[in-house]
A and B are shown apart, each in its own frame.
Chain A
Amino acid sequence: MALFVIKRVALLGLMLIGLILIMFTISHVAPGDPAGVAAGPDATAEMIEVIRKEYGLDKPLPMQFWIYLGDVFQGDLGRSIRTTHDVTDDLLRYFPATFELVGVAMLIAIFFGVPLGMLAAVFRDKGADHAIRFVSVSSVALPMFWLGLLLQLFVSLKLGWLPLGGQIGLMTERPEPITHLLLVDSLLRGQFETFREAFAHVILPAIALSAPALAAIIRVNRAEMIEVLHQDFIVTARAHGISSFRIVAIYALRNAMIPTLAMIGLRFGWMLGGTVLVEGVFDWPGVGLYAVQSAVNSDFQPVMGATLLIGFSFMLANFAIDIAYGWLDPRLREAG
């Protein structure tokens, strides 16, 4: 297992450098002159040249890449022209909110998707199966922002059960940051009222964001469970009088979880992308909104910073899933 983990950590490092290289290349061969944008529309050629020097844009590309790489690993992602803050500081402000939203959405998708998929497989072609598949198909068919709007209209405006948008009330006291995650920090600081409020705020956007992933997880898990339940080793377990619950929930589920995990990893990336829409609808102060606004203003550094961060979270999530594979399947663990 140790070798398995070490190999994947090394791979993670390589992938990170690859990600930075691709991002850097795209942003530097793309049309548009960052120095010109930074200098403003009325700048003279000399002024642009000065800025070019200041930002190091006159150096050869490989040199620039090397410098950028060094900066990134020191936590320096440059400065946003729009907000005039360091990009790192901005991201630290916005990213935890996105991470929290995606985290809660993923938990919803997994904790409902896996058991529902399992139930649908066990009661294949019966009423429960049809009902679950109906939920699954509807979740895919509804676009996230549309579902978000419907939830707002119905649950917030009509029923008044949950807040309409935002991460927390303006007047509510925020906890001293520890992890920068509002839900976690308010719990750690013992501010349960804040936690309750933050939780109420996250439910609707998380549901909207989780819908496509939920559908995908149900579908994959159902199909895998059906296949696994036809395997010979299930006959063995049945023939020896092992209870149906244990057979389904332990023996079969563990086998079915391997492809399901792959789907979860993939969906994590899609969700991070999907936050842009959901954050817009729910006025969620996250990194998606920040990146979009920066891009609209040709503000390169924050876009690169946000892309890097989202890309890196995606890689980390898939790293975690790789490790989970190894934990689930002894054959993979040994293959290294």
Chain B
Amino acid sequence: MAEPAPLLEIRDYSLSISTFDGVLKVLDGINLSIAPGEAVGIVGETGCGKSITVKSVVGLVPSPPARVEAGSVRFDGRDITSADEATIRRIRGQEIAMIFQDPMTYLNPLFTVGRQLRDVIQAKDRLKPQSERRDKRSIQAKAVELLSQVHLPNPERQLDAYPHQLSGGMRQRVLIAMALAGAPKLLIADEPTTALDVTIQAQILDLVKDLVERLGMAVLVISHDLGVVAAICQRIVVMYAGTVVEDATTEALFENPKHPYTRGLLAAIPRLDGSADSLASIAGTIPNLIDPPRGCRFHPRCAEAGETCRQAKPPSLEGAPGHWVACHIYGGGVG
């Protein structure tokens, strides 16, 4: 049986950013693919490149200073690796939508929610032929519909509110509503709940999950929190210092983590039934990306690293079906 063609496919993608101190090798040979309707999560520490991967793919990283060194990006059958600004904006407007970390700062404080939402609806309408564009009244109606879709109470009234008059959770709902305006095929959620209270986090996660199932769109969730990703996603990609170290179904990853880094991450999740004396952590800090470690980028922090790990970059091997690991020791079904 042939696999469905992936909606988004990132192959051997490497990205560097020039800074005053030198060239940061931010991404090194990233592989990532998402099937239509699939929910995939990317996890990793702050600075591991998870955010910049997606931002770069949709053209939100200014170039220069950023530069694609190698690899390709295909979306919905088209190669968009070096697409021009107009093309990428068209895709961003219509087919890929994004929601971001801090709902506080991602809405313009000087414009009403309604104005911003209507502008987004209009911007997406502009990509359609003249005859399908909405008039003022139906734009307004669409805005109300979007807000009720994200379960914002009193949608008509909220349209006249300014961002500072809404709570964090409400603002995130508004941002999700904006993302839905163009009926996207892929929703990218970059740390969607990090800035929110725990109870609100759960509500927003439920909302995203519900929307993804109802609207049949694919979703890519980026988080440093395995719990958040596991709540929504069927598959999880673990990133470390600009490389993908493990790629597996949520179930496989939790039950049978292979890569030492993944195991470290899982061990670092505090458990209610465990000892509360101290929290587990992975020793060391993320490496300097101007001069990344040779070989496996994780080897300086890996207790099991051997000579090969210091010399050669580990290839990503499929040990069990659909379970990819980039590790000299545990890759390829060993261990």
> Chain A residues in contact with chain B, CB under 8 A?
231-233, 235-243, 246, 251, 254-255, 328-331
Chain B residues positioned under 8 Å from A254 (CB to CB): 110-111
Tell which of A238, A246, A331 touches B60, judged by Cβ atoms closer than 8 Å.
A238
Q: In the complex, how many angstroms separate the beta carbon of B91 from the nearest chain A beta carbon?
A: 8
Please judge, given known A-B contacts A235-B100, A241-B89, whether A251 and B108 are in contact too, CB under 8 Å. Answer: yes
Could you say which residues of chain B place their CB within 8 Å of the CB of A233? Answer: 105-109
Task: Give residues 45-80 of B contacting A (CB, 8 Å).
Answer: 58, 60
How far does the alpha carbon of A246 sit from the alpha carbon of B127 in the complex, in Å? 15
A246 surroundings in chain B (CB, below 8 A): 119, 123
Residues from chain B with a CB closer than 8 A to the CB of A329 are 109-110
**Separation of A149 and B175 alpha carbons in the complex (Å):** 57
**Cross-chain contact A331 with B120 (CB below 8 angstroms):** no
Decide if A232 touches B89 in the complex (CB within 8 Å): no
Q: How far is the CA of A254 from the CA of B115 in the complex (A)?
A: 14
User: A223 vs B28: C-alpha distance in the bound complex, in angstroms?
Assistant: 35
B168-208: which residues lie under 8 A (CB-CB) from chain A? 175, 178-179, 181-182
Q: In the bound complex, do residue B106 and residue A236 qualify as a contact, i.e. CB atoms below 8 Å apart?
A: yes
* A236 close to B123 (CB less than 8 A): no
- Report the bound CA distance from A246 to B126 in whole Å: 13
Tell me the bound Cα distance from A193 to B89 in angstroms: 52
Chain B residues with CB below 8 A from A331, complex form = 109, 162, 164
Contact of A330 among B94, B124, B164 (CB under 8 A): B164
- By Cβ-Cβ distance, the 6 closest A-B pairs, closest first, are A241-B93, A232-B105, A233-B108, A330-B162, A239-B98, A240-B120
Q: Is there an interface contact between A240 and B92, defined as CB atoms closer than 8 Å?
A: yes
- Contact among A235, A241, A328 for B123, CB-based, below 8 A: A241
Decide: A232 near B102, CB < 8 A? Known: A239-B58, A240-B120, A331-B162: yes
Q: Are A240 and B102 neighbours in the complex by a CB distance under 8 Å?
A: no
Q: How many angstroms between the C-alpha atoms of A80 and B41 in the bound complex?
A: 82
CB proximity of B217 to chain A, nearest CB, Å: 15
Contact check, B108 vs A242: say whether CB atoms are below 8 A apart: no
- In Å, the complex CA distance between A231 and B119 comes to 18
| A236 in contact with B93 (CB, 8 Å) | no
B111 CB contacts on chain A under 8 angstroms = 251, 254
A129 to chain B, nearest CB (A): 16
Inter-chain contacts of A231 with B (CB < 8 A)? 105
Q: Which residues of B contact A251 (CB under 8 A)?
A: 108, 111
On whether A240 and B105 interact (CB within 8 A), knowing A235-B100, A251-B111, A330-B110, the answer reads: no
Partner of B94, one of A232, A241, A243, A255: A241
- Are B123 and A243 touching (Cβ within 8 A)? yes
**Docked pose: A237 CA to B90 CA in angstroms:** 13
Nearest-neighbour CB distance to chain B for A209, whole angstroms, equals: 31
For B94, list chain A residues within 8 Å (CB). Answer: 241
Q: Which residues of B contact A236 (CB under 8 A)?
A: 100, 106-108, 175, 178
Contact with A along B94-132 (1 / 0, CB 8 A): 100110101001111111100000011001101100000
Closest B residue, CB atoms, query A233: B108
B residues near A238, Cβ cutoff 8 Å: 60, 89, 92
Cross-chain pairs A/B with CB under 8 angstroms, 11 sampled: A236-B178, A238-B60, A238-B92, A240-B123, A241-B89, A241-B92, A241-B93, A241-B94, A242-B120, A246-B119, A254-B110
